[in-house]
């Protein structure tokens, strides 16, 4: 299963499709685009490549652990009612 990670680096839109390899126990970039054009990881500077790979590691960790952007946020109906009532009371 591959994952898609979107970010902005150096003012450019970067879209990376990546996968975790069971053989090497590391991330592999399957496909990469910068501003909609084909791009390769080895075309990046060492700093850019290291930064992107760190972001991909964090994204994979968040996906697997359901943290960050992928966290399940439980909703307590009573809390929603209290917040909604407070907002309506101020209006």
Per-residue model confidence (pLDDT) at position 2: 94
- Judged against a pLDDT cut of 90, whether residue 5 lies above it is answered with yes
Question: Is 60 exposed, middle or buried (CB count within 10 Å of its CB: 0-12, 13-18, 19+)?
Answer: middle
> Which among 39, 40, 33 has a CA at the least distance from the CA of 14?
33
The predicted model scores a pTM of 0.74
Q: What is the pLDDT of residues 18-58, one digit of tens each?
A: 999 999 999 999 999 999 999 999 999 999 899 999 999 99
Q: How many CB atoms lie within 10 A of CB 28?
A: 14
Distance in angstroms (rounded) separating the CA atoms of residues 59 and 91 = 40
Sorted by where each begins, the domain ranges of the chain are 3-90
pLDDT value, residue 29: 96
């Amino acid at each position: 299963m591959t994952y898609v990670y979107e970010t902005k680096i150096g003012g450019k839109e970067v879209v990376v499709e990546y996968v975790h390899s069971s053989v090497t126990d590391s991330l592999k970039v399957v496909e990469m685009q910068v501003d909609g054009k084909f791009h390769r990881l080895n075309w990046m500077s060492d700093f850019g490549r290291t930064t992107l790979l760190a972001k991909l590691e964090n994204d994979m960790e968040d996906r697997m652990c359901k943290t960050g952007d992928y966290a399940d946020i439980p909703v307590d109906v009573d809390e929603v009612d209290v917040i909604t009532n407070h907002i309506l009371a101020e209006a």
